[in-house]
Amino acid sequence: MTSITTNPQFPLEVVKAFFAAMATLDYDTALSYVSDDCEYDNLPMPEAKVYGPDGIRALLEPFFAPTLENEFVVLREAAQGPVVFMERLDRHLLPNGWVELPVTGVMEVHHGRITLWREYFNLPTIAPMFAPFLTKST
């Protein structure tokens, strides 16, 4: 488990702690920063809207299953009140090489927990690299 201390009064710290845990795929720690009713909307994939830690885990575990290593490189960040904007370069090492995806995320943090998480990215940028791992044999 990742040992990260955060001050719930500082939403940016909560979001950074969340992504630090996600980088190592420590779902238990990462999801401890998520409220039970958190809305996660992974745009531009409308079918990827889920709620709460269980919904987020069910969506992300299969997606990250083929990754050997993850990095969430923060390029820009801004926070005002409970709202955190984070421009990132998400890097994922797959068996066939590194995939880099520019992402902008918007989160809201209340009482030390993420209550809203929206991700914006260009799906065609990453789809070809993940396609071999997402197709199922019939």
Per-residue pLDDT tens for 90-136? Answer: 999 999 889 899 999 999 999 999 999 999 998 877 666 666 555 54
Token digits of residue 101:
């995806």
pTM summary value:
0.84
**Distance between CA atoms of 110 and 98, rounded to whole angstroms?**
34
Tell me how far CA of residue 88 lies from CA of 19, 37, 52, 54, in angstroms.
11, 25, 23, 24
Boundaries of every domain in the chain = 11-134
Residue 75 has pLDDT above 70, yes or no: yes
CATH topology of domain 11-134: Nuclear Transport Factor 2; Chain: A, (3.10.450)
Query: Residue 84: helix, strand or coil by DSSP?
Result: strand
- Non-local (6+) Cβ contacts of 125 within 8 A are 101, 102
Q: How confident is the model at residue 33 (pLDDT cuts 50, 70, 90)?
A: very high
Per-residue pLDDT tens for 6-31? Answer: 565 699 999 999 999 999 999 999 99
**Distance between CA atoms of 22 and 56, rounded to whole angstroms?**
12
